Chain A
Amino acid sequence: MAAHLSYGRVNLNILREAARKELREFLDKCAGSKAIVWDEYLTGPFGLIAQYSLLKEHEVEKMFTLKRGRLPSADVKNIIFFVRPRLELMDIIAENVFSEDKMHSSRDFHILFVPRRSMLCEQRLKEQGVLGSFINIDEYILDLIPYDGDLLSMEYESAFRECYLENDQTSLYHTAKGLMTLQALYGTIPQIYGKGECARHVANMMLRMKREFAGSQNQILPVFDTLLLLDRNVDLLTPLATQLTYEGLIDEIYGINNGYVKLPPEKFAQKKQGEASKDLPTEPKKLQLNSAEELYAEIRDKNFNAVGAALSKKAKIISAAFEERHNAKTVGEIKQFVSQLPHMQAARSSLANHTSIAELIKDITTSEAFFDNLTVEQEFMTGVDTDKVNTYIEDCIAQKDPLIKILRLVCMQSVCNNGLKQKVLDYYKREILQTYGYEHILTLNNLEKGGLLKLQTSSRNNYPTIRKTLKLWMEDANEQNPNDISYVYSGYAPLSIRLTQVLARPGWRSIEEVLKMLPGPHFEERQQLPAGLHKKRQQGENRTTLVFFLGGVTYAEIAALRFLSQMEDSGMEYIIATTKLINGTTWIKSLMDRPESQAP
C-alpha cells in the first residue's frame, strides 16, 4: 500500500507503521462496533496513514463528517470523534452529543484529538456539560506524516501565520515533538544546523526535550547525519515565484492536496466510448500523485519545458514494448509477454494521464498572461526596476486580476528590493484598497507584519549582494539537462536550497556575511551519541540530511533538493520535512484576513 515510502534512503514506512500501530491500539481501546465522526480537514492526512480497510478491520462500520445537529443514525456501540483541538469543533461535538442522548442512550462516545489534546478544548466541553459523556479522551500524536519516500509534512496550515503574525509557537512545539518521535525511530541526529528565530526555538526545545528524556536514550544507529532547520522567513522570495517544475505547476494551477489533484475532466474523457460522446464527465478527475507511479517519479521534478520530451520518449518505449508481441513466437515468450502486460498497461494509462495533464498545463504556460507575469517576476528577481511602480502590476490591478496574484507580485517586488519606498508602497496599497475593497487593509497589515511587504528603511538594498553571493540568478539555466538547481524556476535558484547546498559544501562559514543579512540567528548544535553508535562510514557512502522548512516548502524547492541528492558528486542525500506543503497562492491566502468570515 505504501511501498513507495520504503524505497528511499530512509525508510519512512517505519514512521507510518508506528502511526498505524498507535491508531490500532486506540481503536481497540473502544471495544465493539464503531462509527468515526471526522473533522473533515483530517481525512486527507489520515488517508496517508491508514485506508478504510484498516479501520474496517477494527470494527469501524460507519464514517461521518462532523457537522452541526444530530448524528446520523448508525447501529454501533461506539461513536469516535476524530478532531483537531479547536474550540469551534468542540461546540459542534457538544451539539451532537446533546441531540444524541435523547435518541439512544447506549452508545459510547470517545474523542481522539489530533495531533494533541488540549486543555482549552476539554474545558470547553466541560463548560458545555458534555465532558463526562466521553469514555475515552485521547490524543493521536500525528506530527509528521509521510508523504513520499523522502517527504514528511505536518500539514499544519497556519504555522507561518501563527509564528510570524500571532507569536503563537504551538506549531514549533509540535515540530520539536515530531522531531523527537523521528529520533526515537531513526536515532539521534548528531548535528543540528539552523537559520532563523523559529529554527532556534525548535532546536532549543529539542535539546531541552533530549535532556528531559535523558536516560531513556535510544540505541538506534542514527539514520540522519544532519538536521537543517530553516525558517520560511529567511527566504520569503522563493514561494512567491511561480514554480516551473511539472509538479510545481500542477500545484500552482490545480492545487495538490494530501497527494491528490483534482483536474478538469474534459481531457480525460474516454475516447473509445462511441463517437457520440454526448455528455462529458462533469466530476473532476481525481488523481493520486506520488513516487509509486514510475512515470510521475521520473518527470515530476523536471522543468516543465523538459516534460514533453520525456513523455514522448516514454511513449516510444511503451509502444515498442507492445510491439514486442509480434516477436513473441514461442509459448514461453508469449507467456513472458503476458506476464508483463499489467505493468505495461499501467504504464500506458499513466502516460495517457500525464499527457493530458501536460496539455492542460501547456495551454496555460503558453498564454500571454502567463508569459507576461513570468517576465515581471524574473525582472524582479534579477533586480530590474524594483524601486519603481511596475506598469504590469498597475495594469493587472486595473484589469482586476485576482487579488492574490497582485499580492504575490507586489510582495515579490518588495522582497527583491528589501522593502519599497514609502511612495511606491502607499501607491500599491491604495490601488489595492480602492480596487479590491478597504477590508483588505487587514491583509496588507498582515503582510507587513510578516515582512513580505515592507517599507524600505534607509539602509541599502542588500538583495543584490545576496543574489550575487549565493548565485541566485543563473543566466544559462539548462532546463532540459540541468546542471544547477536554478532550473526549477528557469533561472532563479531558490535561496533556501542554496543555503542547504552551501552548508553541505563548503560550509556556512564561507557565507557569514550573507547569513548576517538574512533575518534570525544561524547556529550549530551537536547532540551527543551514546558510545558505540558512531557511524563507521563506508568509502563513498552518502551522508543524509533532514531539511526541515518551518512555515512551508514548495514543490519546486523539493525538486531542487532531489536534484541535489541525485547529483553524483554531492555526497549528500536529502529528506525533506515541513510544516506544510505550500505554493505562493496558498501561502498568501493563509495570511489574508477576511472580516466577513469572522462574523459570528
Chain B
Amino acid sequence: MAFITASWNPLGEAFYRKTELYDMCWSLKDGLRDSLVAAAPYGGPIALLREPHRRSPSSRPQLEIYSASGLSIASFPWKSGPVVQLGWTVSDELLCIQEDGSVLIYDLFGSFKRHFSMGQEVVQSQVVQAKVFHSPYGTGVAIVTGSSRFTLATNIDDLKLRRLPEVPGLQGAPSCWAVLTQDRQTKVLLSNGPDLYVVDNTSCTAVVPPGLSPQVGSIVHMCVSFSYKYLALFTDSGHLWTGSSNLQEKFSEVDTKVRTPPKQMVWCRRPKSQQPSVVCMWDRLLLVAGVCNDTIQFPVDDQCVCVGELDGVRIISSTHQELLQEVPLVCQDIFKIASMAPGALLLEAHREYEKSSQKADEYLREIKEQSMLGEAVRQCVEAAGHEYDTNTQKALLRAASFGKCFLTDFSPDSFVSTCRELRVLNAVREPSVGLPLTHTQFKQMTLQVLIDRLVYRQFYPLAIEICRFLKIPDYQGVSRVLKHWASCKVQQKDLSDEAIARAVCLKVGDSPGVSYSHIAAKAYECGRTELAIKLLDFEARSGEQVPLLLKMKRSQLALSKAVESGDTDLVYTVVSYLKNEMNRGDFFMTLRNQPVALSLYRQFCKLQEQDTLKDLFNQDDDHQELANYYVSASYREKRLETRLSVLQSAVDEYNKAKNDFAAKVTEDEMKLLRFQRKLDDEKGAGLLGLSLQATMEALLALGLHKQAEQLYRDFKVPDKRYWWLKLKSLAEKEEWEELEKFSKSKKSPIGYLAFVEVCMKSHNKHEATKYVSKVTPEQKVKAHLAVGDLEGAADAAIERRNESEMAAVLSRCSASDRLLMDRLNRAKASTAKK
C-alpha cells in the first residue's frame, strides 16, 4: 500500500501501471506456444487450440476453454477441419473459423450450437486469415481467402455475407489488415507493401495516412482501438504512426528502433485518457509507445497474449495475467508522491487519525480551508473504484467515510453504491469465478449483463446472492436467475423427471415472474415431454400452459387448462384447434367432458353452424334442447308442410324429455296452424302465423263466430278471456243486440262492470246503462260512475256505507251538485261516527 506508486511507469505526463490479476490456475505444458488463443474482452473466457495445423488424424488437437482465471471449463479433441482463427461473440459463444470457410459455433461449455459458411467459393480458395470483430450490430467475421478476396459478415446472428471488391495488385494475403466500423459501415483497411487501401461494399480506395514519414517502405502491422476511433500503423522502418481511424488526423509517430514487425499490437486507452498509447509485443519485449513519443519497455520472458479492453490491456501469459493501464487521473492525484490534492490529504488525515495523531486535524483543516472536503471525499470514493487491491479500496473508502463525517449535506449515494459495486466486483474477480472486470468495464457492461454472464456460466448461487445484495426487484433479479437455472436443470440427463420436477419446484416455488411454461418448453425442446407436463402443472397462468400443451399434442389437457384460465377466447382457440385435429366423434366426446367448452361451442354453433348444434344435442340425448332447437328451426321454414314436420319432431323430443306441457302446446300449435291454413284456403282469412287469441279476434271480426267458438272449445280457452274477447269484439262492431244476447247466454265470468266499461269506451251510454244493474254490489259505485250517474253512485255508496266509495263519488262532484254533496257528506259523517 505504501508503495503503490512503485509499479507506476511515467509516460509523458501520465503514468502506466501493471496490476497483477491472477496467477493462472491452469498448468499449460507448452505455454501458449504454437496455439491459437482467443480471449474475450470484459474478462471473458479464453479458448485455446493447440497446434491447429496438425493434420494427422491420429493425434487430434485439443480445444480447451478456460475462464479468465485459467479454470478449465471444457476440453475436447478437435475433430473438424483445420482452424484458422478462434473468436468470441458478444454473448460468450466461441467461433471456430476453419480453412474451408465454415464457422462452427460452440457455447461456453464446448457444446456445439450451429455452423454457417462464409461462402461457397471459399471452399476452393481457402481462408488464409480471419478476424472476429464486434460492432453495434453484434459480432462479425471477416476473412481473406487465398485468392485475396475479403468476405464480411457483420452480424453472425443475422447472416448476410458481403464479398468485398477486389484489391488491385494484391497477391495472397495482405501484409496486414484490420476491420473498421465507421458511419454504420464496416470496412476493411489493408496494406499491400507500401500501399494502404480502404475497401468497403462497393469500392476499393487507396489512402495515405497524413504525415507518414516518406522513408517508410511498407506497413507491416496495424491495429484499431477498442472504439474503432483510432488507428496505429507499424512500418518496416520501425516507426509507429498513430492517428484517427478515418485517416484525417495524425497524433504522433514514434521511432521504436525495432525493425521487426511486432507479434501483437493493441491500443491501450481509457475513457478520458490523458496519454493513450499503443502496446507492441515482440517475443522478448513489450513496448508501450505513448502518443507523446515517450515509451516504456517491459521485458517479456514468456509467450503472452494481449487482450484489448475498454480501459487497458490484459496480458495473459502461461503463468500470470496482468492488467496494463494508464493510471486514472484521480488515482494519480491521490497517490502521486507529494500530491497536495484534497483526496491525498484526506487519505493522509485518516491515516494520522488512525494513529491517533493530531496531525489528522491539521490535514483536515487544510482541506476545509480550501473548502475542498467534498471534493476530497469524492476523489477517494472514485479512486477506490479504480483500485484492484482490496486493502487499497478499504483504505480509500475509510478515508472517504471519515471525511464524510465533517460534511453536513453530502449525498451518501455514490459512497454507498461504490461500496456495493466493489463488493460485487471483488466477488466476481475471485479466481473461482474469474471475471476480472474493472469498475469502468462493469459500468459499461451494466449489472444486468453481468448477472446474465454469471448465469450463463452457471454461477447461480452467486448471481442470486448479488441480486439480493443489490436489492434488485425479484422480477429482474432472482427470478430471472432461477428461470435460467431451471431451464438448465431440465436438461440434466442423469436425473429422473420426478427428481427434476421436484428440485425445480422446490427452488423456484412461486417466485414472481418465473414462467413454468417457459421452463417446460425448454424441457420439451430437450425431448422430455413428461417432465414438461409435470412442470406445466406448477404454472399459475393456465393461459400460458395452453400453447405448449397443444404443441405437445396434449389437447385434452390443453382444453381443461384453457377452461381453468377463464379466458373464453383461449377456450375457443383450443376448441377450434381440436375441431381441426380430431374426428367428429372424438371431438364431441372431448367436449362432453368439458361442459364449459361445450357450452361455448354451442354458442358458436348457434351463430354459425345450426346443424352441428343439432348433432351436439343429439349426441348428448338432450331432448329438451333438441326440441327447442326444432321449435326455433320451424320458424325458418317457409313451407307449412315442412314446418309442421319440424314441429312434429319437436313434439317427439318434448315427449322424450318428458315435458308433457311443451309437447301438448306444440301439438296445439300444429293444430292451430292446420286450422289457420284451412280457413285461409276456404275464406282467405289471412290467419296463418297469428296467435290463437289473434286468430279468434280475426274470426270474430270477420263474423265467423262458429269457428271462433270452435277454437274456444278445442283449445280450452278460459271463459274469462273468451268473454273479454267477444265482448270487445262485439262492442267494436257495435253489434249491441248480439252483445245483449251474449250477456244473457250465461252468468258472465268477468262480471258486468266490464260490459259497462267496454260500452262506454265505444261511447254508447245507453247500452252501458243496461248492464249497470247487473253489476255486483262491490262494483256498483264504479259502474254508476262509469256511466256518469252520480246520483246512482251516491245511492249505492250510501247504501253500502262505504266511506272511501263516498269519497270517490264526492271527488267527481262539481259545484253544481251541491245537494248531492251535502247528502254524501252527511252520510260520511254518520258512517264515520259508527
Q: Which residues of A contact B (CB under 8 A)?
A: 85, 87-88, 116-120, 123, 166-170, 172-173, 176, 201, 204-205, 208, 211-212, 214-217, 394-395, 397-400, 426, 429-431, 433-439, 441-442, 445, 593, 595-596, 598-600
Q: Which residues of B contact A600 (CB under 8 A)?
A: 636
Of all chain A residues, which has the CB nearest B654? A441
With an 8 A cutoff between CB atoms, is B788 at the interface? no
With an 8 A cutoff between CB atoms, is B718 at the interface? yes
Q: How large is the interface on B (under 10, 10 to 19, 20 to 34, 35 or more residues)?
A: 35 or more
Q: Which residues of B contact A208 (CB under 8 A)?
A: 540, 542, 565-566
Separation in Å of the A224 CB from the closest CB of chain B? Answer: 22
A394–B724 alpha-carbon span in the complex (Å): 11
Known: A426-B661, A431-B721. A116 touches B569 (CB 8 A): yes
Of all chain B residues, which has the CB nearest A422? B661
Q: Which residues of B contact A400 (CB under 8 A)?
A: 693
Known: A201-B566, A431-B721. A214 touches B665 (CB 8 A): no
Separation in Å of the A141 CB from the closest CB of chain B? Answer: 13
Q: Among the listed A85, A395, A429, A441, which residue makes an inter-chain contact with B666, where contact means beta carbons less than 8 Å apart?
A: A441
Known: A598-B636, A599-B636. A176 touches B607 (CB 8 A): no
Known: A212-B541, A214-B510. A176 touches B566 (CB 8 A): yes
Which of B25-33, B321-329, B419-427, B598-606 makes up part of the contact surface? B598-606
A217–B634 alpha-carbon span in the complex (Å): 55
Q: Which residues of B contact A211 (CB under 8 A)?
A: 510, 540
Of all chain B residues, which has the CB nearest A213? B512
User: Do B607 and A118 touch across chains, with their CB atoms under 8 A apart?
Assistant: no
List B residues 426-448 near A (Cβ within 8 Å): none
Of all chain B residues, which has the CB nearest A86? B607
Q: Which residues of B contact A119 (CB under 8 A)?
A: 569-570, 572-573, 576
Q: Among the listed A169, A398, A441, A599, which residue makes an inter-chain contact with B720, where contact means beta carbons less than 8 Å apart?
A: A398
Q: Which residues of A contact B210 (CB under 8 A)?
A: none
User: Do A429 and B661 touch across chains, with their CB atoms under 8 A apart?
Assistant: yes
User: Do A397 and B567 touch across chains, with their CB atoms under 8 A apart?
Assistant: no
A593–B628 alpha-carbon span in the complex (Å): 11
User: Do B665 and A166 touch across chains, with their CB atoms under 8 A apart?
Assistant: no
User: Do A442 and B632 touch across chains, with their CB atoms under 8 A apart?
Assistant: yes
A176–B542 alpha-carbon span in the complex (Å): 15
Q: Which residues of A contact B636 (CB under 8 A)?
A: 595, 598-600
User: Do A434 and B717 touch across chains, with their CB atoms under 8 A apart?
Assistant: yes
* Interface pairs (24), CB distance under 8 Å: A117-B569, A118-B572, A119-B569, A166-B602, A166-B603, A167-B595, A169-B568, A170-B569, A201-B566, A212-B540, A214-B512, A215-B511, A394-B718, A397-B721, A398-B750, A429-B661, A431-B718, A434-B721, A437-B690, A442-B631, A445-B624, A595-B634, A595-B635, A598-B636
Separation in Å of the A126 CB from the closest CB of chain B? Answer: 11
With an 8 A cutoff between CB atoms, is B662 at the interface? yes
A201–B565 alpha-carbon span in the complex (Å): 11
With an 8 A cutoff between CB atoms, is B513 at the interface? yes
Q: Which residues of B contact A201 (CB under 8 A)?
A: 566
With an 8 A cutoff between CB atoms, is B14 at the interface? no
User: Do A88 and B662 touch across chains, with their CB atoms under 8 A apart?
Assistant: no
User: Do B596 and A169 touch across chains, with their CB atoms under 8 A apart?
Assistant: yes
Q: Among the listed A173, A394, A442, which residue makes an inter-chain contact with B721, where contact means beta carbons less than 8 Å apart?
A: A394
What 0/1 readout, one digit per residue, does chain B (639-669) give for beta carbons within 8 Å of chain A? 0000000000000000000000110011011
With an 8 A cutoff between CB atoms, is B492 at the interface? no
With an 8 A cutoff between CB atoms, is B608 at the interface? yes
User: Do B599 and A168 touch across chains, with their CB atoms under 8 A apart?
Assistant: yes
A436–B479 alpha-carbon span in the complex (Å): 65
User: Do B693 and A434 touch across chains, with their CB atoms under 8 A apart?
Assistant: yes
- Sorted nearest first, the 7 A-B pairs with minimum C-beta distance are A215-B512, A167-B599, A595-B635, A438-B669, A437-B691, A398-B724, A434-B692
Of all chain B residues, which has the CB nearest A216? B475
Q: Which residues of A contact B542 (CB under 8 A)?
A: 208
A397–B473 alpha-carbon span in the complex (Å): 68
With an 8 A cutoff between CB atoms, is B715 at the interface? yes
Of all chain A residues, which has the CB nearest B633? A595
Residue picked from B570, B603, B691, most chain A C-beta under 10 Å: B691
Of all chain B residues, which has the CB nearest A85? B569
User: Do B635 and A596 touch across chains, with their CB atoms under 8 A apart?
Assistant: yes
Separation in Å of the B280 CB from the closest CB of chain A? Answer: 53
User: Do A435 and B665 touch across chains, with their CB atoms under 8 A apart?
Assistant: no
Of all chain A residues, which has the CB nearest B479? A215
Q: Among the listed B513, B569, B603, which residue makes an inter-chain contact with A215, where contact means beta carbons less than 8 Å apart?
A: B513
User: Do B665 and A433 touch across chains, with their CB atoms under 8 A apart?
Assistant: yes
A399–B665 alpha-carbon span in the complex (Å): 22
Q: Which residues of B contact A120 (CB under 8 A)?
A: 569, 572, 576, 604
Known contacts A395-B724, A437-B691, A598-B636, then 19 further A-B pairs from the complex at CB < 8 Å, ordered by chain A residue: A87-B607, A120-B572, A167-B596, A169-B566, A201-B566, A214-B513, A395-B720, A398-B724, A398-B725, A426-B661, A431-B721, A433-B668, A433-B692, A434-B715, A435-B691, A435-B692, A437-B690, A441-B631, A595-B634
A166–B717 alpha-carbon span in the complex (Å): 34
What 0/1 readout, one digit per residue, does chain B (457-484) give for beta carbons within 8 Å of chain A? 0000000000000000111000100000
User: Do A215 and B566 touch across chains, with their CB atoms under 8 A apart?
Assistant: no
Of all chain B residues, which has the CB nearest A116? B569
Of all chain A residues, which has the CB nearest B543? A212
Separation in Å of the B686 CB from the closest CB of chain A? Answer: 16
Of all chain B residues, which has the CB nearest A439? B635
A117–B570 alpha-carbon span in the complex (Å): 11
Q: Which residues of A contact B510 (CB under 8 A)?
A: 211, 214
User: Do B666 and A438 touch across chains, with their CB atoms under 8 A apart?
Assistant: yes
Q: Which residues of A contact B725 (CB under 8 A)?
A: 398
A388–B576 alpha-carbon span in the complex (Å): 50
What 0/1 readout, one digit per residue, does chain B (520-562) give for beta carbons within 8 Å of chain A? 0000000000000000000011100000000000000000000
User: Do A429 and B665 touch across chains, with their CB atoms under 8 A apart?
Assistant: yes
A584–B512 alpha-carbon span in the complex (Å): 46
Of all chain B residues, which has the CB nearest A429? B661
Q: Which residues of A contact B604 (CB under 8 A)?
A: 120
With an 8 A cutoff between CB atoms, is B672 at the interface? yes
Separation in Å of the A425 CB from the closest CB of chain B? Answer: 8
Of all chain A residues, which has the CB nearest B695? A434
A169–B562 alpha-carbon span in the complex (Å): 13
Of all chain A residues, which has the CB nearest B511? A215
Known: A167-B595, A429-B665, A438-B672. A172 touches B631 (CB 8 A): no
Q: Which residues of A contact B540 (CB under 8 A)?
A: 208, 211-212, 214
User: Do B720 and A172 touch across chains, with their CB atoms under 8 A apart?
Assistant: no
Separation in Å of the B637 CB from the closest CB of chain A? Answer: 10
A170–B568 alpha-carbon span in the complex (Å): 5
A211–B668 alpha-carbon span in the complex (Å): 57
Separation in Å of the B662 CB from the closest CB of chain A? Answer: 6
User: Do B599 and A166 touch across chains, with their CB atoms under 8 A apart?
Assistant: yes
Q: Which residues of B contact A398 (CB under 8 A)?
A: 720-721, 724-725, 750
Separation in Å of the B756 CB from the closest CB of chain A? Answer: 15
User: Do B600 and A168 touch across chains, with their CB atoms under 8 A apart?
Assistant: yes
What 0/1 readout, one digit per residue, does chain B (58-77) give for beta carbons within 8 Å of chain A? 00000000000000000000
Known: A215-B479, A438-B672. A595 touches B632 (CB 8 A): yes
List B residues 686-723 near A (Cβ within 8 Å): 690-694, 715, 717-718, 720-721
A401–B359 alpha-carbon span in the complex (Å): 107
Of all chain A residues, which has the CB nearest B514? A215
List B residues 15-72 near A (Cβ within 8 Å): none
Known: A434-B693, A438-B691. A399 touches B724 (CB 8 A): yes
Known: A87-B607, A87-B608, A119-B573. A216 touches B512 (CB 8 A): yes
Known: A120-B604, A430-B665, A441-B662. A173 touches B512 (CB 8 A): no
Separation in Å of the A370 CB from the closest CB of chain B? Answer: 18
What 0/1 readout, one digit per residue, does chain B (661-686) give for beta carbons within 8 Å of chain A? 11001101100100000000000000
A436–B473 alpha-carbon span in the complex (Å): 66
Q: Which residues of B contact A593 (CB under 8 A)?
A: 632
User: Do B720 and A173 touch across chains, with their CB atoms under 8 A apart?
Assistant: no
A433–B596 alpha-carbon span in the complex (Å): 32
Separation in Å of the A302 CB from the closest CB of chain B? Answer: 27
Separation in Å of the B618 CB from the closest CB of chain A? Answer: 18
